[in-house]
Structure 1
């Protein structure tokens, strides 16, 4: 498997993780709303939401690194390779 293929697979995985993370955040927000409505202490639930948000930032940064790597590999493949000609050192 080439580096480019590996990066593309990593991008698919990263996108899956981000989608799952967004779903977890939505569920956590809904839980906090229900807990607030029902008079429960939401401190721990809010702490978890903050951690989920921080994780998403890290995952988004990682996704960008993957996109950068893909762009680098694609540029390398698109650029003509220089082969030394006769008489080159």
Structure 2
């Protein structure tokens, strides 16, 4: 078993969260388009999208930290 098994478990979770976040962001983009076509105010929907994108940035940074720790513990790329 790799030395960094906990980190690998955490990495798998973070990667699932990134995929889910990307899916939610894509859905929100579609919602904003739908709302805009119908003349609805999209201000709050756009704010939610920005928050989702910021969360994704944080998750990607966390992913990189985990990858760095795996390399540190195991001495090679995951």
Match of 1:61 in 2: 61
Query: Hey, which bits of structure 1, 4+ residues long, moved more than 4 A?
Result: none
Q: Displacement of 1:30 after TM fit?
A: 0.2
Over aligned residue pairs, what C-alpha RMSD do you find? 1.4
Mark the runs of 5 or more structure 1 residues left unpaired by the alignment.
76-89
User: TM-score of the superposition, structure 1-length normalised?
Assistant: 0.80
Match of 2:51 in 1: 51
User: TM-score of the superposition, structure 2-length normalised?
Assistant: 0.91
Q: Displacement of 1:3 after TM fit?
A: 5.5
Mark the runs of 5 or more structure 2 residues left unpaired by the alignment.
none
Q: Displacement of 1:5 after TM fit?
A: 0.4
User: Could you give the per-residue CA deviations for residues 39-85 of structure 1, whole angstroms, max 9, x where no partner exists?
Assistant: 1000000000000011111000000000000001102xxxxxxxxxx
The number of aligned residues is: 75
